[in-house]
Amino acid sequence: MILEKRNFYLTTPIYYPNSNLHLGHTYTTIVADVLKKYKQAQGYDVFFTTGTDEHGQKLQDSALKAGKKPLEYIDPIVESAKELWKILNIDFDAFVRSTDSIHEKNVSEIFTKLYDKGEIYKGSYKGKYCVPCEAFWTDSQLVDGNKCPDCGREVVESEEETYFFKLSKYGDRLLELYEKNPDFIQPESRKNEMISFIKEGLTDLSVTRSSFDWGVKVPFDEKHVVYVWIDALSCYLTGIGYGVDDEKFNKFWPCDVHLVGKEIMRFHAIIWPAILMALDLPLPKKIFGHGWILFDEDKMSKSKGNVVYAEPIIERYGMDALRYFMLREFTFGQDGNFTYTKMLNRINSDLVNDLGNLVSRTVAMCEKYFEGFVPKATDIIDLDKELIDLAVSVREKVDFEMDKLNFSGALEEIWKLVRRTNKYIDETTPWVLIKEDKERLKTVIYNLLDSIRIISGLIKPFMAETSTKINKQLGISGSDFEGLRKFGLLEEGTKVCKGENLFNRLEVEKELEIISENNKKLIEKRKQENTTKDETEIVEEEKITIDDFAKIELKVGKVLECEQHPKADRLLVFKIDLGNEVRTIVSGIRKFYSQTDLIGKKVIVVTNLKPVNLRGVESNGMILAASDDKNLSVLTVLSDMEEGTKVS
Ligand code: MSP
């Protein structure tokens, strides 16, 4: 059957230049890449745009601080982002830098067009401004009276002449859009947030700045630059040839799905469609706001030190394991807490036990019982039919889940088949059949191999390398995607060949230490390398308030006991007297102190930390120490103080 070519356009956000993109950042691009490959396999002509959002005050300031011109500062950062996408096998079609001259020309023309149509007018803005977010807020939008609703930082009073986009007039049209297109905003919960926001009343949007000049100049008023959102959002148009290649543009616009993180939903679901309405351009079909990948239940951030990088994971466990885990573990649309333990356990259970074992057992049996030649299936009994019916029905179920962007659900459907096929081995007991009924064994082995062919084809958009390895073992170059709805396509007589394990079993405890350590080393390395500062580091330099400090409870404690941690050489387990209680605290200071060194000593303890389980021992607090690369010294008090005395 020749499939009619259909077009599909998808985008990820245009990232702020950041030399240290973490696992949270990689989430959207991994998802987009899987979606692209799945749609392509279904026969779509897919175009995927990503890029970098390079204008604005923050970047100008950062470049200045680094003693560089903006582009001189940004270029290497953009290269490092591209490098990461390469490592992750992200197959984008356009990488738009908002500083590309063609994009700058587009922005300038779009702005002029909106102005000429009366959609933009000049005025002046006085209000509360958040410098890091480059956004003005009304009093009712502020949190706690003076904090930015997006980032929580304090806003400043500011006044400037600015151009406004007439956003206020689009409220009703936007509500109508959502009502007529129930899938426009996904997931549902985000739609409700957008509706309430609009119902509170939209105000016109300030779309230029004159307080800095790193941006696209307003063509007819050069002391203004176009504010970041019109600039950044328009990258989605530039990616498919807006202004230069009408054929390509008309082929792919309107966009099928903009994939974005939940915090930038408002810009995509409210401001963006309003701008497009004003430009008389068709509207995107869907905006999907995914959740955040958290670490320690908190948003990943270098400044908090709770950052996980993709590179050490890929280096040790492979890209496919990471891609599988990210898509299987987290529900796209909801926040999810990343832990190495969850990842390692899932690799062991789903990839080593379920998939890896299935492939290696089956291919080994085919080699052992039939010299590696795919046997011919003869009589099909009910038990076989059950497996076959499931195998040929999975493709449709996966299509259904992928249409909803339910990646975890799609993988679960595939894994139902993986598990069912494994169970089929236990039910048919080939090792008994070899002795009792070789004819029946032929059918069994064939059914196993052909189910694996289908599984391999289905996982390909998620895990291309693994799929290729499986195909190689099956002696085939791949399977037509339509052929995944049919059973019996693996040709009799094909020579299978056992390869290396697809995934190796991991010793969780050991790996946990290694991978955490490797991640820590990379954090350290990047800290040192950072001669140039990126977005996150600007945050790092900010001071905390006395209120922030007051949240940390510090007390004097007396060390009563100290033991070696039963499972980790570098950890000591302390019993610390805090006056009215004795706490167990695990500390990684074994390299610097023996079990007896600190007995009876007064130390400073953080007492209101959430308890953590450190390799089987619950730690309830933290002992403070000063450290550099070589030395470590535990903090104490100069004169004797009672246990439990507060430190402030
Ligand atoms: N430049 C804007 C987007 C403009 S789009 C026209 C921006 N850039 S960003 O670099 O800050 O963020 C890029 C994407 O990374 C966002 O979708 C954001 O939600 C996502 N993530 C950053 N940290 C994340 C997690 N910890 N988890 C999941 N996604 C996260 O915003």
Distance 15 CA to ligand 1 centre (A): 6
Q: Using one digit for the tens of pLDDT, what is the confidence trace for 246-297?
A: 999 999 999 999 999 999 999 999 999 999 999 999 999 999 999 999 987 7
Q: Which atom of ligand 1 is nearest to the CA of 299?
A: 26
Q: What residue ranges do the domains of the chain occupy?
A: 7-296, 314-485, 546-647
Residue having the nearest C-alpha atom to atom 9 of ligand 1: 15
What CATH superfamily is the domain 546-647? Nucleic acid-binding proteins (2.40.50.140)
User: For residues 136 and 205, what is the distance between their CA atoms, to the nearest angstrom?
Assistant: 9
User: For residues 420 and 193, what is the distance between their CA atoms, to the nearest angstrom?
Assistant: 41
DSSP state of 242: T
Q: Is the pLDDT of residue 132 over 90?
A: no
Using a 10 angstrom Cβ sphere, with 0-12 exposed, 13-18 middle and 19 or more buried, the burial of residue 602 is buried
Q: Is the pLDDT of residue 389 over 60?
A: yes
Q: Is the pLDDT of residue 538 over 50?
A: no
Q: Using one digit for the tens of pLDDT, what is the confidence trace for 575-632?
A: 999 998 999 999 988 878 888 899 999 999 999 888 877 777 888 999 998 876 567 8
Residue having the nearest C-alpha atom to atom 12 of ligand 1: 15
What fold, for 314-485?
Isoleucyl-tRNA Synthetase; Domain 1 (1.10.730)
- And the tokens for 176? 């109508």
Q: Following DSSP, what letter does each residue of 582-639 receive, concatenated?
A: EEEEEES-TTT--TTTTTT-EEEEE-SSPPEEETTEEE-SEE-EEE-SS-EEE---SS
Q: Please state whether the predicted TM-score (pTM) of the whole model is above 0.85.
A: no
Q: Using one digit for the tens of pLDDT, what is the confidence trace for 169-219?
A: 999 999 999 999 999 999 999 999 999 999 999 999 999 999 889 999 999
Mean pLDDT of the residues in the chain: 92
- And the tokens for 214? 């790193």
For residue 495, the cross-strand partners are 373
**CATH placement of domain 7-296:** 3.40.50.620
pLDDT value, residue 602? 95
Q: Is the pLDDT of residue 122 over 90?
A: yes
pLDDT value, residue 220? 96
Distance 12 CA to ligand 1 centre (A): 9
Q: Which atom of ligand 1 is nearest to the CA of 13?
A: 5
pLDDT value, residue 358? 98
Band (364; pLDDT cuts 50, 70, 90) = very high
Distance 391 CA to ligand 1 centre (A): 38
Q: Which atom of ligand 1 is nearest to the CA of 259?
A: 17
User: For residues 407 and 401, what is the distance between their CA atoms, to the nearest angstrom?
Assistant: 7
Using a 10 angstrom Cβ sphere, with 0-12 exposed, 13-18 middle and 19 or more buried, the burial of residue 364 is middle
Distance 527 CA to ligand 1 centre (A): 21
Band (541; pLDDT cuts 50, 70, 90) = very low
Q: Using one digit for the tens of pLDDT, what is the confidence trace for 368-385?
A: 999 999 999 999 999 999
Task: Kindly state the average pLDDT of the residues 343-357.
Answer: 98
Higher pLDDT, 355 or 304: 355
Distance 34 CA to ligand 1 centre (A): 18
pLDDT value, residue 536? 37
Distance 260 CA to ligand 1 centre (A): 7
Ligand 1 contacts (CB < 6 A) are 13-16, 24-25, 27-28, 53, 232-233, 260-261, 263-264, 292-293, 299-300
